[in-house]
Chain A
Amino acid sequence: MKGRRIEARPGQVVDRAEPLSFQFDGRSYTGYAGDTIASALTAAGVGILSRSFKYHRPRGLLCGAGHCPNCLVQIGDEPSVRSCTRPLEQGMDIRSQNAWPSLDNDLMQLTESVSRFLPVGFYYKIFHRPRFLWPAFEHLLRNAAGLGVIDPQTPEGSYDKQYLHADVVVVGGGPAGLSAAVAAADHGSRVLLIDENADVGGHLRFDRPDETVTERIAQCRKALDQAGATILTRTSVVGWYQDHWLSAVRGNRLYKIRAGAVVVASGAFEAPPIFAGNDRPGVLLASAAQRLLHLHGVIPGQRGVIVTASDAGWAVAVDLIEAGVDIVAIADERPEPGPPEQHETLTTAGVVIHQGYTISAARGARGVDEVDLVPVDGTAAKQTIRCDFVALSTSWIPSAELATMAGARSHYDETLAEMTLEDLPEGIFLAGRVAGPCTAEQEWIQGSAAGTAAAAGGPSHDSTTGTTPIPRSSQIVVSPGSAGDKRFVCFCEDVTDTDIETAVAEGYDRIELLKRYSTVGMGPCQGRMCGLNSIRLCAQNTGQSVQETGRTTGRPPVTPVSLGALAGQKMEPVQLSAIHDWHVGHEARLMVAGPWMRPEHYGTPEDEVRAVREAAGLIDVSPLGKLKLTGPGVATLLERLYVNPWKDLRRGRVRYGIMCNDEGIILDDGVCARISDHEWYVSTTSTGASGAVEWMEWWRQSGWGDGVHITDMTETHAAFNLAGPLSRQILQPLTSRDLSHGKFPYMRARRAKVAGVPCLLLRIGFTGELGYEIHCPAGYARYLWETLIEAGIPHGLLPFGVEAQRVLRLEKGHFIVGQDTDALTDPLAADAPWAVRLDKDEDFLGRRALTRISEEGPRQRLVGFRTRRRADALVEGLQVVRPADRGAPEIIGWISSCRYSPTLQETIGLCWLPTELAEQQDTPFHIHVEGQLELAHVHHGPFYDPQGERLRS
């Protein structure tokens, strides 16, 4: 076989001085730097690159532009790599996908011989009965339809994100895009030019490149550099979102781009026609042949046939002849003679010219051995011609995805046989081939106009008017007299024209339905290759026009994006308390609590509980929401936001409060301290802090804010809770403030200096012991914490974590908002009716609902329970059931908290029960634990120190 690599020429991007060796399916090959994987394989004479999705037919290079599925390969642990755009690298280990045992000899190809049992819509039709066999079928189907292998052992890659801003983003770096970018930059705009290819230049790079063109591209580059514009190559814009927010991907980086205006200069791509065997390796698009030839110096074969519907095919024929390829025939579906100049070249080269002809079949043992050319009007017999490749130049599809995502509407132009765009939204400008057929010179001009308009921020206008369209696309839907093999519409999903016909006959005659049922257009290329063909076929089968048939909605991503690029770096922001490092240094086991990392315990939670009950403990409660409310209107605002009364709270006092919404549902709880007449200190739950602040601000800013200012000090202040019978003894030596019960009783607030640090002390007791909540500026926190620990150690003080606190509060029967309450819990049901003051002067949030609930009585109630069962078996969330004589027990409630109490040496908890069960102390009930019924008894009030004497000691 003669070599496929031609001599070096200007414009080629391969560097013959740098050979690269690589493996494909275990065999060694050599290519050059600048090759794509597919160009190197084509040069080496490898024709079959993959096996198709459903029938496992052999497939080879088709589009050469990164659209179609034919050349997807696996590289190491990376599946579905487009080998026609991925640059070749030294030592690459490339494998074919979807073939077993090998590409050349794929046993799954048998599926084709049973293909009449795989009708269109087979997902919905067969394999589902008998039902018990479905898992086996599913396994089989999934393996058969695999597109590469994902290796779960793959080490994590590094992906990142970047934000970009530009006045004008130009998508596409061909002549139109380049001149648009230059024009916009000339007008002073910040310009970002994005192109998915290795370099800018667009089709000029491979469309008969010459020196003047290369020079012109270089000049644009220079102008853009000087203007400070950014050029991103190998970057795909994958989505348009509201207000010109674009997403783009380059390798492992995702760009999020805010654009002032977008010039869509994304060009057009070729799509294949429908004929028998149109998927055989060796059948490729003419633009793919041009890329191979002009960029990589590779010819697709030795004996070629060209099929076209415009002058474009003639130009490609000349290119190939000049490269030494034997072009045996050209079929042009137009009856009139082709362009005179090329006509002459072709005649001289001995090419048989068939005007008014197209291709109806391609046949071959492994690739293409011969093709049938038929007259379009059926007036003559078919011509069979021997060749080893066919280059197709029949249909051009504008890359209109971004424009349609932005809201432009598509219109089918019958003369052009192409979709065109209408009703461009504001800020979207079109330039070049995407807007319709035009010459390269017109592309330069249109680009300039679009770039100028985009920079001026004017209304979107069609810069393409006034150009003379050259009809370039084929009018034929399915080649006449095409038979003998399958005719593929959708290469990705192996859907044929007969499948579409059948689906329409079965009633799936709307394009969106047809797509979902037949899966046409749902493959890796997202309908790029089959979109227009499927619409035209649908139209043909329904008797509607293409315009009436419409098109499916295009959504991001335009091209496939790896999940890694979307996920980006692993970044989960956490909030850390000011003394986090101390916790870490003292073996704290950390847990996630809302946005915070908090110590769960420092080793043994039981010891921590015991220390608090018998001596003292210190917990970091910095995550508590901490707000300062100032102004003469605070008391009124609090009365409206909380179910409790506040106006009667005297200076220096603290009260527990519950905040509800107008449905009477508990949103948050905490304490409010009145520091002075017009200054209050309010705490919220730790995990609900930001929500509570937003809620309070909303009411404050929408009419209830007269004379109130809210300062959120959650992050600027730290808070500790010093709790236990010895806490006064520990704290008193550190402050001159008299802490005696007489001077600083329970539920009071005092400012004090502790170890010299200005603090606010709240004498409250979530744990049920004498205790002080100490709030101080975060900058002093570490010092104060260490001072307190040091002072406490001789008294037996231990630092304690969230777990011990949960046990301690449970022993007191206190609920935790969000743990024991949910989105249906009101304070009456949560056993806190004492907090609700329905007869307040102020109209408060939840009043109407709570008034009603108090009249009717809650249906369920939160109560304590005790049980002999060990706590570790009683997972929170277990159901409370009523045993039935027959059948399954009835679910009547659930457990919201449960712990073993080291103090009481039994298992205690909180649960939700029907009111009639909850009302009686000691009522027995059953908890459903792994099929067993465990006995528990209702307990009212605190389990520990029911009179609260320790709090007031």
Chain B
Amino acid sequence: MLRLECPSCGPRNAAEFRYGGEYNPRPAPSSSATDNEWTRYLYLRQNSMGVQTEWWYHRSGCGMWFLVERDRRTNQVTRSWQWTVDMDDDARQETT
């Protein structure tokens, strides 16, 4: 079983967590997004064969939502950290 590192609780079995999908910040405000941007946010995912940044929730633990960088080919986790506001800014910059 995959092991994840909760930023507040440390390493735990994946069964303690809920997967929250790809990191995919919401265009803010929603009205500012073009139809294309909105569609991409709502429906299109990278589904990358490689490293992905994704959300996990420590359901049977502290209740933290955090981010994990995981290689989807090997399940190797390279980083786990708590969300920060500049992440969203950077991500939005990249997609525009």
Contact = CB atoms under 8 A, between A and B. Distances in A.
Interface of A: 241-243, 245, 256, 258, 407, 662-663, 690, 694, 697-698, 701-703, 843, 847-848
A241 B14 CA distance: 12
Given A243-B3, A701-B83, A703-B85, A847 B65 contact: no
Contact of B1 (A245, A694, A843): A245
A629 to B, nearest CB: 14
Given A256-B1, A701-B83, A848-B30, 5 more contacts: A242-B14, A245-B3, A662-B30, A703-B88, A848-B38
A292 B14 CA distance: 45
Nearest to A702: B83
Contacts of B2: 242-243
Contact of B57 (A245, A258, A697, A848): A697
Interface in B55-72: 55, 57, 59, 63-65
Nearest to A693: B63
Q: Quick one: which of A242, A690, A702 has the most chain B CB within 10 A?
A: A702
A662 B65 contact: no
A847 B83 contact: no
A698 B21 CA distance: 12
B74 to A, nearest CB: 8
Contacts of B45: none
B30 A694 contact: no
A847 B29 CA distance: 10
A843 B65 contact: no
B29 A843 contact: yes
Contact of A843 (B30, B38, B55): B30
Contact of B18 (A241, A245, A258, A694): A694
Could you say which interface size class chain B belongs to? 20 to 34
A859 to B, nearest CB: 19
Interface string B69-81: 0000011000000
Interface string B8-41: 0000011000101000001011110000001001
Nearest to B67: A702
A242 B3 CA distance: 8
Main SS at interface, chain B: mixed
Nearest to A847: B30
Contacts of B63: 697
Contacts of A701: 64-65, 83
Contacts of B30: 662, 843, 847-848
A207 B37 CA distance: 70
B65 A697 contact: yes
Nearest to B85: A703
A703 B31 contact: no
A697 B64 CA distance: 8
Nearest to B57: A694
A702 B65 contact: yes
Nearest to B38: A848
A698 B75 contact: no
10 contacts: A242-B14, A242-B75, A245-B1, A662-B41, A698-B20, A698-B55, A698-B65, A701-B65, A843-B31, A848-B31
Nearest to A844: B30
A789 to B, nearest CB: 36
A420 B81 CA distance: 40
B61 to A, nearest CB: 13
Contacts of A848: 30-31, 38
A256 B14 CA distance: 14
B42 A663 contact: yes
Contacts of B74: 407
Given A241-B1, A242-B1, A242-B2, A698 B57 contact: yes
Contacts of A697: 57, 63, 65
A585 to B, nearest CB: 32
Contacts of A702: 65, 83, 88
A663 B43 CA distance: 10
A405 to B, nearest CB: 13
Nearest to A691: B18
Contacts of B88: 702-703
A663 B41 CA distance: 11
A701 B75 CA distance: 25
Nearest to B29: A843
A929 B17 CA distance: 44
Contacts of A690: 59
A701 B38 CA distance: 22
Contacts of B64: 701
Contacts of A243: 1-3, 75
A744 to B, nearest CB: 35
Nearest to B20: A698
Nearest to B35: A848
Considering the complex of A and B, which 6 residue pairs feature the smallest CB-CB distances, nearest first? A843-B29, A245-B1, A243-B3, A242-B2, A701-B65, A848-B30
A871 to B, nearest CB: 39
Nearest to A245: B1
A258 B16 CA distance: 15
B60 to A, nearest CB: 11
Nearest to B28: A843
A698 B88 CA distance: 14
Contacts of B1: 241-243, 245, 256, 258
Contacts of B13: 245, 258
Nearest to B11: A243
Contacts of B28: 843
Contacts of B55: 698
A176 B42 CA distance: 56
A258 B3 CA distance: 10
Nearest to A700: B65
B35 to A, nearest CB: 10
A610 to B, nearest CB: 42
A701 B3 CA distance: 22
A174 B14 CA distance: 33
Contacts of B83: 701-703
A556 to B, nearest CB: 12
B26 A662 contact: yes
Contacts of B65: 697-698, 701-702
A408 B54 CA distance: 28
A698 B38 CA distance: 20
A843 B31 CA distance: 8
Nearest to A241: B1
B13 to A, nearest CB: 8
A838 to B, nearest CB: 11
B59 to A, nearest CB: 7
Nearest to B77: A243
Contacts of B59: 690, 694
A241 B2 CA distance: 8
A701 B84 CA distance: 9
A848 B63 CA distance: 29
A241 B3 CA distance: 11
A847 B38 CA distance: 12
Contacts of A698: 20, 55, 57, 65
Nearest to B26: A662
Contacts of B31: 843, 847-848
B20 to A, nearest CB: 7
